[in-house]
Amino acid sequence: MSPRPVKMRRIGKPPVISGMKPYGFADNRTSSGKVFLNLEEYESLRLCDFYMLHQCQAAEMMGVSRPTLTRIYSSARMKIAEAIVEGKQIVIEGGKIYFDSSWYFCNDCGCFFNNPGNKGNPEKCPLCGSTMIVNYDLLPEMIYKDPASPDNFCYYHGWGRKRVGKRRRDFRT
């Protein structure tokens, strides 16, 4: 039996670089191989380590289950550790992914909309023309839950709990 096909993973923003190169080898080598980091692994690092989201939130944003996200994430960390320890080049490419343009929400009429092709942020709701719009990094079918509110309890790790010593960057910019 063939295995179940891999689900497409959603990527919010493509990486700004296509890779990284090491420099200053101790034994005068010029190169020592490459590590191929998938785009989904890059995205898991972006969400979990840069924006410091919970893994269940990151999983929801990438459209995969929490255990799958953990698997992607641990593989990303192993690859990056390998690159640093063995002085390998990191190449970001491949992966079963799709890009999604950013979404906005109108507070007046309650609609979600995206802004394809146009650079910059939209100023008006395309439906009612209201200016009460906010940026959304989630798909419309995933309603954003405020992690600080105790009402939004996460099934896996409990987002409602207060976290000490860690501050999240605002990922909705």
Which positions lie near another protein, rule CB under 8 A? 8, 63, 98-101, 109-117, 124, 126-130, 140-141
How many whole angstroms from its chain centre is CA 120?
Answer: 20
- Sign of the four-CA dihedral 50, 56, 61, 62: positive
Give 25 or 98: the residue with its C-beta nearer to another protein: 98
Residue whose structure tokens are 């079918």:
141
- How far apart are CB 64 and another protein at their closest, in Å? 13
Helix, strand or coil, per DSSP, at residue 35: strand
Give 21 or 124: the residue with its C-beta nearer to another protein: 124
- How far apart are CB 103 and another protein at their closest, in Å? 8
Contact at 8 Å (CB) between 33 and 106?
Answer: no
- How far apart are CB 7 and another protein at their closest, in Å? 10
Give 112 or 156: the residue with its C-beta nearer to another protein: 112
- How far apart are CB 94 and another protein at their closest, in Å? 17
Helix, strand or coil, per DSSP, at residue 59: helix
